[in-house]
Every structure is written in structure tokens, then in C-alpha cells.
Amino acid sequence: MNFVERKSELEILESAYQKPSSSFVAVYGRRRIGKTELVNNFFQSKSCFLFSLTGAYNATLEAHLDNFTDKFCSAFGCSFDEVDFKSWSDAFRALRDAIAEIETQKDCKIGIFIDELPWLAQMKDNGFKSALSLFWNDFASKLDDIMLVVCGSATSWIIEHIIEDRGSLANRVTAIIHLQSFTLKETKSFLLAHGYKNISQKDLVEYYMVFGGVAHYLSLINPRKSFIQNIQTIFFSQNGVLRTEYSRLFRSLFNNFHRHELIIKTLVKSWSGLSFAELKKIKKLSSSSTLHSALDELEASGFIVKHFRYGQKKRDTLYRVKDPFLFFFTKWVETTSSVEIFQNRNYFLSLYQTQKYKIWSGYAFENICHNHILELKEALGVGAVLTTSHYWRYVPQSKDEQGVQIDLLLVRADGVANIIECKYNNSEFVIDKKYAQNLENKVSVFNEVTKYAHTTTVAMFTLNGVKRNEYSDYLVSDSVLVEGIV
């Protein structure tokens, strides 16, 4: 597989490799995001010795130790029958002794890559974590030629037990990489490197609405097929490879995954998001501590994000789903029966042509905008300006007033507030009289109610631009096209 992007992450790994002392690097991020590929690509660029171990989901301690034995013998040239590790302490002592015998070349480190570490530790005390900490504290950290990289999709576990550990691994991590989804621009680079000769802005956006910037999902796209054909094959065919991905996603990451699934299924029904109090009304989520914990885990995994109200109070914080794949799957795939799929070879084509899908696409496009604030700022020419993003609502106090909902408000340190309007159209978006009045009302009500003393403007984010007319000329201060951020 061609490796693209991830420049800043590779720089972090390179910096750790060049340190005059041993390094302990923690890499975490959403499942399927490309963590393993990142680390493997880095070590492949080096001529160093590498010991690599990968955890298996739901495996027994015996199975994990057998796997360690296999990798150990492969790396150090021993026979499987010569070693018999009864515990993780035995395994790491053997690794320590074997590494001590290695003579490294100048400017070359010994690489140790432990992938899916939470699965090896089985997310409980099976002796792995204590054995790892002894290996690092009593041996590896005292040398200057070890580069230990640990990795895991169970993000909250990695954060709690490795990065923010309060025990024997406290403050031991020397570098951290939180691997994020590809941006639209990076997604385009990825697709071009994987067979696409060219890709339209529309196809790029539509793929992003479905897969987000998740490397593994994007690798399933066949460049010789259309968007509709690919989605039909991947999700809506008898052998659709991602038809069961949703359930695997949560089962492999969280111990009490049913709670996390329930939160997501509740949140996807509200594009703007829900408050903690609103989520707490759900029967199985009524425990505050349990709900807080699950929300923190989902946020750390990159599935949801907090959205703050302008001039907010704590209770005004909203939680919203940010992961495009979750939006697509829960809306269109999860509700589709096998019977519907088996009886309709062009199921997605018929779905794609419905008004419901067009409406959904509008919301999905807005979600893309929320996920590209940095790129949007650059396109607006305010990349260097300090900003905060918010939502804002006003509920009318009388029949004479109009309510207002601003889903994305960019408040800038230079005294400007940008109301960001996201519109997904196949052609230029036309601002008519009714829509113009709606925009004017948003600006005036926001200024009046919040007493905002600076400049409030409207910026449009669209696929094909805004058609110039009498309304656009005086209402829209900036227009950003998708091509402006890719």
C-alpha cells in the first residue's frame, strides 16, 4: 500500500529516533485510522533491528504468550521449543536479555513496536503492564539506543494506563501521537496515490460523507468504479466488507460497548448535538458518572466532539457526533435488511436518488465543515488569527420574535464574528429573498441579544460557489469552495 501524508507524525517519530537517549512513544487513535501503517512505514525506512508484537482481540493470556514466543524466536533466531514463557514477566525478561546481546551500529536504534497494547493487557491486570514498566524502568530507559513504540485503538485505555498513568509508568512517555482522520486534502492525496487518475470535488466530498478520512475504509474504494457502485459493493451487497464494521468497532474498543452504542444512536438523531442533561434522560444512561466516562471515551476515540455555545454556561455544552462513517452507517446501512439487499442489486442507486438522501447530504456536508475549521480559517485568510468556534441559539420570547439557530459561529480575536453557512448543491447556490431575510435575521438577532459590539459577517461554504445576485452582494462577505481547502 502506498503511504501518503502523515508528515508531522513522521517528524515526531524521527525526532524520537534521533534523541541521544532511549524513547518511549505512545500512538493512539480511532480504529482503522492507520496507526500500524504509520509506525511500520517509519521503521521500514530505518536499517535498525525491530522486534514487533501485535495483540489479538479477546485472546487468552496463553494465546498472547504463544504469539510473543513466535515473534521472539523469529526475531532472535531461536526454536519455538527452546522457550516457554509462563507469564509476561518471563517474556519481558527474555526480551531484555536478548536485546542486551545485540550490537547496534552507530546512529541506529533498536526498535520495539507493541501494537494493540490494550488487547495484550486484556484491559485488566494480567501482568502485562507491570512487566512492561519493569522492562522500561529497569532496563530500556537506562540505555541510549532503544525506541519503544506502543500503539492502541482503545484510546481511553492508552490515555489512562500509559500516557496519564499515575503508577510505574507515570511521566515515562517521551512523545505522543494522536493520529487523526485524513482531512479532505489528505483524502484526495490518498485516493490519487491508490489508483485514481483524477477525482472530482463532488466525488471527493461524497466519499468523505461516507468514510470520513479513515485510511482503511478509503483503501476499499475501487477507482475503476463510480461512487454509487463502490458504496453498493462495500455496504449493500451480500459480501459487503463493511456491513458488520459498526458492531466490531465498538466491541473491540470498549468493555461496556452497549452503552457507547446507545449514546451514538441517540446523538446521530440530532445533527446539532445534545446536552449532558438531555442524554441523561435516556433510561440506560441515567448514571452521571457512567455517562461522563462513556462520553470521555467516545471523545478520546474521535467519535464525538464537544460544541460550546457562544457566551455559554456549562449546561449549554453540546455533544455531537463528528465521525462521518457513524452518521452514514446508522442512517442508511444499519436499517437495511438482508432481504432488501438480496432482492435489489441497485439498492444504493435508488436510495441515492431520494429526497431523503439529498437532505441528509446537506447535513453531512455541514459536518465536513465542522471537521475542517483550520482549513476553513486558511481559506478565509485568518489562519493566524486566534479563533473559537461555537453554536448559538435564540428561542423567541413572544410571537413577534423569530427564533435563530447558528450551527457554526467563528469568533475571531480581530473583532469579527463569522456566521458560517454550509450549502451542498450540484450547481451554484442561489440566495433568494426568503433565504436572504433568514440571514439578515440571524445577524441582527445575534448582535442584539448577545450585545456583540464588533463586526458580524456571513461566510458561505459550498461545493460550487454562490451565484452572484443582489442578495449575495450585500449579505455574503466571504465564499469558500471545497476546492479552496483541498
SS3 for 114?
Answer: strand
Q: Which residues of the chain have pLDDT under 50?
A: none
How many angstroms separate the CA atoms of 59 and 67, rounded? 10
Which residues touch 53 (CB under 8 Å, ≥6 apart)?
67, 68, 71, 113, 114, 115, 120
Domain 372-484, CATH number (from 3.30.460, 3.20.20, 3.40.30, 3.40.1350): 3.40.1350
Q: Where are the domains of the chain?
A: 7-179, 188-371, 372-484
Instruction: With 0.85 as the threshold, say if the pTM is over it.
Output: yes
What's the half-sphere exposure (Cβ side, CA atoms, 13 Å) at 102? 23
Do the beta carbons of residue 35 and residue 28 sit within 8 Å? yes
Of 235, 24, 17, give the one whose Cα is nearest residue 136: 24
C-alpha dist (Å) from residue 15 to 141, 174, 191, 224, 386 = 17, 11, 28, 39, 28
Residue type, 419: I
Task: Provide the angle, in degrees to the nearest 10, between the axes of the packed helices 257-267 and 288-300.
Answer: 80
Domain 188-371, CATH number (from 1.10.1200, 1.10.287, 1.10.3470, 1.10.10): 1.10.10
In sequence order, what E strands does 85-196 have? 110-115, 146-152, 175-179
Burial of 355 (0-12, 13-18, 19+ CB in 10 A): exposed
The topology (CATH level 3) of 7-179 is: Rossmann fold (3.40.50)
